[in-house]
Chains A and B, each alone.
Chain A
Amino acid sequence: MLVLSGRGQEFANRVSLESGQPVQQCYQCGKCTAGCPAASFMDYAPHQVIHLVQLGLEEVVLSCRAIWVCTSCYTCTARCPCRIEVARIMDILRARARRKGLHRGQRAALFADLFLDSVRRHGRLHELELGARWGLSTGQPWREADLAAGLVAKRKLRLRPPRIKGVEEVRRIFREAARLEEGEHG
């Protein structure tokens, strides 16, 4: 029988509680991994990510690449025979990794930050700005240039940022959500 240290057990319980998912019920059948579009690009396959949670290996799972390569396609959730919402657990793990600063250096985390910053400032996404900031932040400003040029030629990139009247309401959502999530887990 597996005996977890107090800290490991606590982590597994916290993830279960926060996600509302019975993590310990996973019997490692691997169906989530079989259908995962990104599994071959991950360091730990989805079923292994769940196993790491079960084992309470918090640091390992929160710093793994897998949770950031996940495409949030919900195939795992749709097919789990234990009805564990694996994709939801991925969300919880990403949020926890962020709170511990373990998301730094993960490209998908940077992308989410830039995307949401655009939404926070304008109320809607400004695609051109996101693309430009992504290029500058990753040090590859010309990587998407061919696509950007095609989009501009077809007038499929809005040049001026959008702006909604309720932008203050949107900023309030960002502020309050961050405050509440911090309070809840602080």
Chain B
Amino acid sequence: MVRYAYYPGCVAEGSGREYEMANRAVAARLGLELVEIEDWNCCGATPGHNTGHLLGLALPARNLALASGMGLDLVAPCAACYNRLVTAQREIACDPELQVLMGRLLGRDYHGDRRVLSMVEAVAAVGAERMKALTVRPLEGITVACYYGCLLVRPPAVIRGDDPEDPRLLDDLLRGVGATTVDWAHKTECCGAAQALPHEEVVLSRVRRILEAAVTFRADCIATACPLCHANLDQRQARVNRRFGTDYRMPVLYFTQLLGLAFGLNPGELGLGLHFVPTAELVRRIA
């Protein structure tokens, strides 16, 4: 059993709750103990750092300090949370003045000495062999377009570990459980992210391109590791169709949902009925 301090993020309680369900179920199967950080707060996401530099650092810093108090490395499943936590940690670590400032802002000593991992990294750390051993329903014949988005891979000076232009961690994981993944050019093309409400036209045009690319590569589904990407690709897919007269019906699954299916977990337990674009046909092919 490996223990982690777990930072669910705000959407885990709402629009991204199927990601939370799948993460918990898969973590249990993999022997990862996710200990929720008590009283965690919002990381501020894009609005935080867009509004003020210190605000954008201090909101995640409080969570880093809480994880440090637990003496555990931290796992953040949402790519946006993960990005803010790593950014804050790196920036504060490089600047002693900022460290003192954080103490003043937080009203408590700041320590941010624990590793911050994305859910992809935490799962990958389990190792390919163990994953294979747990696979009871290999995803054979399923073609997946792995979509990393932005905040899991950029900026490369801060977010390290995977190739920022051609990342492979997700592909390796899903290939490891039998899926075929496509070498497409849209792995890290932005979905428009937080502009969904302020500038929906940006999101719809981006999502259309990503869906079109996935269709071109004959993908059965898109796999993502970010609830914001998921919301744009899944929830707004019908709007893309209305706007552009297209007829996309591309299931968008969280990578832990696909892993969970391969491990023989129940689709309901993985929240597979909670998407806007139906996943039933795909699930039938696996289960």
Residues of A within 8 A of B (CB): 37-38, 40-41, 68-69, 71-75, 77-78, 85, 87, 91-92, 94-95, 98, 107-108, 110-113, 115-116, 119, 123-125, 127-128, 131, 134, 144, 147, 150-151, 154-158, 162, 164-166, 169-170, 172-174, 176-178, 180-181
Contact = CB atoms under 8 A, between A and B. Distances in A.
Interface stretch (B44-52, B118-126, B262-270): B44-52
Given A85-B155, A170-B59, A180 B54 contact: yes
Interface in B39-89: 39-42, 44-56, 58-59, 62
B11 to A, nearest CB: 7
Contacts of B10: 124-125, 127, 162
A128 B10 CA distance: 12
Given A116-B51, A156-B16, A162-B13, 9 more contacts: A92-B53, A95-B51, A165-B39, A169-B108, A173-B58, A173-B62, A173-B105, A176-B58, A176-B105
A181 B101 CA distance: 11
Interface of B: 10-11, 13-18, 39-42, 44-56, 58-59, 62, 101, 104-108, 150-151, 154-157, 164-165, 188-190, 192-195, 197-199, 201-202, 205-206, 235-236, 273-274, 276
Instruction: State the 6 A-B residue pairs at the shortest beta-carbon distance, nearest first.
Output: A112-B47, A73-B190, A74-B154, A107-B198, A37-B190, A125-B10
B216 to A, nearest CB: 19
Given A173-B105, A180-B54, A181-B54, A115 B235 contact: no
Given A164-B41, A166-B39, A75 B154 contact: yes
Nearest to A67: B50
Contact of B55 (A72, A155, A164, A174): A174
A144 B155 contact: no
B55 A177 contact: yes
Of B15, B107, B108, most A-chain CB atoms within 10 Å: B15
B192 A37 contact: yes
Given A173-B58, A177-B105, A71 B202 contact: yes
A85 B90 CA distance: 15
A103 to B, nearest CB: 9
B53 A181 contact: yes
A157 B14 contact: yes
B197 A134 contact: yes
A166 to B, nearest CB: 5
Nearest to B10: A125
A73 B198 CA distance: 16
Nearest to A107: B198
A88 to B, nearest CB: 9
A96 to B, nearest CB: 11
A17 to B, nearest CB: 13
A75 B190 contact: yes
A158 B155 contact: no
A72 B194 contact: yes
A90 B104 CA distance: 27
A7 B78 CA distance: 43
A115 B41 contact: no
B13 A108 contact: no
Contacts of B106: 169, 172-173
